[in-house]
């Protein structure tokens, strides 16, 4: 998967979790929880959507790798064919 495709997935799922925010306008290096004003349950919903909708399994030990848009895009691009 290309990074562009992975970015579309990340932004779409973040916009589903935080529809009042525009995930595409946040700093790609910013902590998603702070930038989108989401709590840990919203972040877990983001991780769950990646699995349910896109088949991407994210072990709990890897959650910190998805705390930024940049990290989430890189993670997904490496794991989804």
* 3-class SS string, the chain: CCHHHHHHHHHHHHHHHCCCCCHHHCCCCCCHHHHCCCCHHHHHHHHHHHHHHHCCCCCHHHHHHHCCHHHHHHHHHHHCC
Domains of the chain are 3-79 (1.10.1200.10)
> Is the pTM of the predicted complex or chain greater than 0.85?
yes
Sign of the dihedral defined by the CA atoms of residues 52, 58, 63, 66, in that order: negative
In this prediction, residues 26-50 reach a mean pLDDT of 94
Please check whether residue 33 is in contact with residue 39, taking contact to mean a CB–CB distance below 8 angstroms: yes
Per-residue confidence (pLDDT) for residue 21, from 0 to 100: 87
Confidence of residue 1 (pLDDT cuts 50, 70, 90): confident
| pLDDT, average across residues 52-78 | 95
């Amino acid at each position: 998967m290309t990074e562009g495709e992975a970015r579309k997935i990340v932004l779409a799922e973040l916009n589903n979790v935080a529809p009042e925010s525009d995930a595409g306008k946040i700093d790609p290096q910013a902590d998603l929880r702070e930038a989108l004003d989401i709590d840990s349950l919203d972040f877990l919903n983001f991780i769950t959507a990646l699995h349910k909708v896109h088949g991407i399994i994210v072990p709990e030990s890897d959650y910190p790798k998805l705390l930024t848009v940049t990290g989430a895009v890189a993670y997904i691009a490496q794991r989804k064919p």
